[in-house]
Amino acid sequence: MAPNPNFEQTPAKYLKTLSIIHFALVAGQVLFAIVALVQSKKIMINVRNPRDPLIFIVPLIAAGGFVASNVLFKKKLNEISKAASLKIKLIDYQTALIIRYAALEGPSLLGIVAFLITGQLFFLVISGAIILYFIYIRPTKQSIEDTLELNYQELDAFSQPHKVI
């Protein structure tokens, strides 16, 4: 049985897949925030309300998500073997990115939900900051090459967009 050409991974398909995943996660957060903003009947900024536990919980979880995303991402990257094939490295890198994105998306969605519940614009600002960071860490060909520290042969293979890896 011949291999299915639709399942053959090329650098171009790999980058497209990562870009689609990233775009979908960012778009989901942005659209949810816009819907929350439009649906909100009252919008206020009052971060001095000590009776609202969300004032403390949302920033702590956002900071924790930021730290966790970076720690888990670096931990997963350190587990990638230098001797592994380019295909295995790219699969492991994609896994690391998805873990990183999940650790950031959860706190962002929590901030949007907290805004929906309370009308506190402060929570939406926290989610906005996370979304901006999410956009900043967008996967690019150069960032993948730099992060994975590809050798010459791997760089050559990764630079050929239509070569099967």
- Structural domain including 75 reads 11-138
Question: If you search the block for the tokens 């439009």, which residue do you land on?
Answer: 38
Q: Is residue 158 part of a domain?
A: no
Looking at residue 70, its pLDDT comes to 96
Looking at residue 155, its pLDDT comes to 83
Q: Is residue 49 part of a domain?
A: yes
Weakly modelled stretches of the chain, pLDDT under 50: 1-3
Q: Which residues contact 50 (CB under 8 A, 6 or more apart)?
A: none
Q: Is residue 102 part of a domain?
A: yes
Structure tokens at 5: 């050409």
Q: Is residue 83 part of a domain?
A: yes
Q: Is residue 110 part of a domain?
A: yes
Q: Is residue 165 part of a domain?
A: no
Q: Is residue 32 part of a domain?
A: yes
Domain count of the chain? 1
Looking at residue 1, its pLDDT comes to 45
- What is the spatial distance between Cα 70 and Cα 36, in angstroms, rounded to a whole number? 28
Q: Is residue 160 part of a domain?
A: no
CA–CA distance from 93 to each of 43, 75, 90, 99, 138 (Å)? 40, 11, 5, 10, 13
**pTM exceeds cut of 0.95:** no
Given a contact cutoff of 8 angstroms between Cβ atoms, the answer to whether 161 and 7 are in contact is no
Looking at residue 159, its pLDDT comes to 83
Distance spanning both ends of the chain, measured CA to CA: 20
Looking at residue 52, its pLDDT comes to 81
